[in-house]
Amino acid sequence: MFAPGTYAGRREALRREIKSGIAVFPGNTEAAFNYPANTYHFRQDSTFSYFFGLNQPDLAGIIDFDSGAELLFGNDVDMDDIIWMGPQPSMADRGKLVGIDRTAPLQGFGDYIAEALNKGRKVHFLPPYRGETRIQLWTLLGIPVAEQKAAASVELIKAVVKLRSIKSAEEIAEIEKMVDVAYLMHTTAMKMAHPGIVEQEIAGTIEGIALANAGPVSFPVILSVNGQTLHNHYHGNTLSEGRMMVVDAGCESEESLYSSDITRTVPVGGKFNERQRGIYEIVLNANLKAIAAIKPGIPYREVHLLAAKTIADGLKALGLMKGDTQAAVEAGAHALFFPHGLGHMMGMDVHDMENLGENYVGYDEEITRASQFGTAFLRLGRRLQPGFVLTVEPGIYFIPALIDQWKAEGKFTEFINYEKVETYKDFGGIRIEDDVLVTETGNRVLGRPIPKTVAEIEAIMKK
């Protein structure tokens, strides 16, 4: 946890953004795994944690914009709780940790809301993403589940996005620590990537490294010799010579929740063959060119399209694409190989604030989301500002089902050499991802550098 003043300062900043009404922040409850008492690893709501810091279930906060009051709700423990969970700080003591002196039992949360509603005051809330929170809002606010997303406060969403988008030095330090743990995860995976091992052994081991050194993985580990499947959580394949292993994995701090999100792709056995090296160098070039372009003021969609153009140029040199690559990217032909966005904001959420709405986080009045297949999946398009932390993750994939579909439709035959593409249908995919801070003058790749060039990867895998 940060100092109490950090949380007080954030709440004060929010109070400057919103003029009236109250904002309600239900913290997360425990999430049942297979029965009520057997729960998943507790994960606090990120926005609750941003303003109220505490990492326990069944808490709630209110900020009253009219009176300036800041309240924290939660129940003190009893003897049964002590026997099963050990002694716990009182709610009053918890409040002090985050600069709040008005604490009350959880029942007070509903009471405060009921009184506000009775007086016809505006009650700001954020879109819920868990069933338990939806039921809580239904009960406390009387808004049916299906209407809650639309009834969420756009004013509060925009204010929270504005604050959370700009990372402070202490937040950046937390993210860097998590990248350093990701270094351990990824280099361990590289060293384990020998023919004959099953994916699950590696995936489980690196999740264990996250848990032992930081906290939970920041998202389910993606680890596959079938990298052409973008979010592949099936870990049952046996590694074999000639395949590449994509590992997209990061962790988050148990306490502060800040995360990392790194992807590396390596040849099983440790040595790139010529075809692998050819595609790999294109993706690496796209990653490096995109990073070099990151600076305040540039729209991230422009960086995305620069990466797409770099990929198209590289594929043209290999004979997989053809024609005018600028025109190909404008038309969206590159998306056969690079069907996703270049990256996204990150912070306490690995896709930062995605629960508040991707378009509020990644777009604005000036730059709205594109509808073209591929670029439409770009989560961050707007102009970059100092303090943003984002991912840069270009990739090239050979997705048999998509290739078959486009070929059958005769799509972009002027840009795509389907005959050659057919010979790559057994290739898989490659993605290379780093976490990057936008600085006042340009950018900085965060954390301990993780082997990325062909030479660096072959060197660490040889050990």
Q: Is 276 in the site for its own copies (CB under 8 A)?
A: no
* Contact between residue 374 and residue 335 where contact means Cβ atoms under 8 Å apart: yes
Among 220, 323, 386, 442, binds its own copies (CB under 8 A): 220
Distance (Å, whole) CA 412 – CA 410: 7
299-358 residues near its own copies, rule: CB under 8 A:
339, 348-351, 353-355
Q: Is 213 in the site for its own copies (CB under 8 A)?
A: yes
CB under 8 A: which stretch of 36-44, 54-62, 276-284, 290-298 binds its own copies?
A: 36-44
H helices of 142-168, where?
Answer: 145-151, 154-165
* Contact between residue 102 and residue 64 where contact means Cβ atoms under 8 Å apart: no
* Contact between residue 162 and residue 17 where contact means Cβ atoms under 8 Å apart: yes
Q: Is 211 in the site for its own copies (CB under 8 A)?
A: yes
443-445 sheet: strands from edge to edge: 389-392, 434-438, 443-445
Q: How far apart are CB 317 and its own copies at their closest, in Å?
A: 25
Distance (Å, whole) CA 270 – CA 282: 19
Q: Which is nearer to its own copies, 32 or 151 (CB)?
A: 32
Q: Is 212 in the site for its own copies (CB under 8 A)?
A: yes
Among 57, 58, 163, 229, binds its own copies (CB under 8 A): 229
Q: Is 402 in the site for its own copies (CB under 8 A)?
A: yes
Q: How far apart are CB 215 and its own copies at their closest, in Å?
A: 9
Q: Is 79 in the site for its own copies (CB under 8 A)?
A: yes
Q: Is 147 in the site for its own copies (CB under 8 A)?
A: no
Residues 6+ apart with CB under 8 A from 124: 18, 21, 22, 23, 24, 153, 155, 156
CB under 8 A: which stretch of 125-133, 154-162, 268-276, 432-440 binds its own copies?
A: 125-133
Q: Which is nearer to its own copies, 84 or 365 (CB)?
A: 84
Distance (Å, whole) CA 250 – CA 67: 41
Among 145, 151, 327, 459, binds its own copies (CB under 8 A): 145
The DSSP code sequence of 10-65 is HHHHHHHH--SSEEEEEPP---EEEETTEEPPP---HHHHHHH----SS-EEEEET
Chain contacts with its own copies (rule: CB under 8 A)? 31-41, 43, 45-46, 79, 82-87, 129-135, 145, 200-213, 219-220, 226, 229-234, 254, 257, 339, 348-351, 353-355, 399, 401-402, 405
